[in-house]
Structure 1
Amino acid sequence: MENNDILIRLRYALDIKNKDMVEIFKLGGVEVTKEEVLKILTKSKDEYDDEVDVEEDENRIKCNNKMFESFLNGLITYKRGKQDPKPGQPENPEPSEQHKDHVNNMLLKKLKVALQLTTEDMLDILDEGGIAVSKGELGAILRKAGHRNYKECGDNFARKFLKGLAVKHRA
Structure 2
Amino acid sequence: MTNNDVLRRIRYIFDFNDAKMIAIFALADLQVKRGDIIAWLLKDDDPAYEDCNGRTLATFLNGLISEKRGKRPGPQPEPEHHLTNNIVLMKLKIALNLQSEDIIAMVTLGGFRLSAPELSSFMRRPGHRNYRECKDQVLRYFLKGLQVKYRGEQVESAETAESTKTPTANSPYAKWIK
Instruction: Give the TM-score normalised by structure 2.
Output: 0.81
Aligned: 1:105 with 2:89: no
Aligned to 2:150: 169
Instruction: Tell me the CA shift for residue 20 of structure 1.
Output: 0.8
Distance in 2 of aligned mates of 1:143 and 1:164: 22
Distance in 2 of aligned mates of 1:84 and 1:142: 25
Distance in 2 of aligned mates of 1:21 and 1:103: 21
Distance in 2 of aligned mates of 1:112 and 1:124: 12
Listed as ranges, the matches of 1:21-170 within 5 Å are 21-45=21-45, 56-57=46-47, 59-85=48-74, 91-97=75-81, 100=82, 103-170=84-151
Distance in 1 of aligned mates of 2:79 and 2:8: 21
Question: Percent of counterpart pairs with the same letter?
Answer: 43
Instruction: Tell me the CA shift for residue 94 of structure 1.
Output: 2.1
Deviations 1:91-122 (A, max 9, x none): 1332234xx3x521111100000001111111
The one-letter code matched in structure 2 to 1:78 is E
Distance in 2 of aligned mates of 1:62 and 1:30: 17
Deviations 1:136-156 (A, max 9, x none): 100111111111111101111
Instruction: Tell me the CA shift for residue 31 of structure 1.
Output: 1.2
Q: How many residues align?
A: 152
State the secondary structure of the residue aligned to 1:67: helix
Instruction: Tell me the CA shift for residue 128 of structure 1.
Output: 0.6
Distance in 1 of aligned mates of 2:31 and 2:85: 23
State the secondary structure of the residue aligned to 1:167: helix
Distance in 2 of aligned mates of 1:158 and 1:61: 22
Distance in 2 of aligned mates of 1:158 and 1:80: 22
RMSD: 1.3
State the secondary structure of the residue aligned to 1:110: helix
Deviations 1:46-99 (A, max 9, x none): xxxxxxxxxx33x122110111111100100011111113xxxxx1332234xx
Instruction: Specify which structure has the bigger relative contact order, considering alpha-carbon pairs within 8 angstroms and separated by 6 or more residues.
Output: 1
Gaps of 5+ in 2: 153-178
Gaps of 5+ in 1: 46-55, 86-90
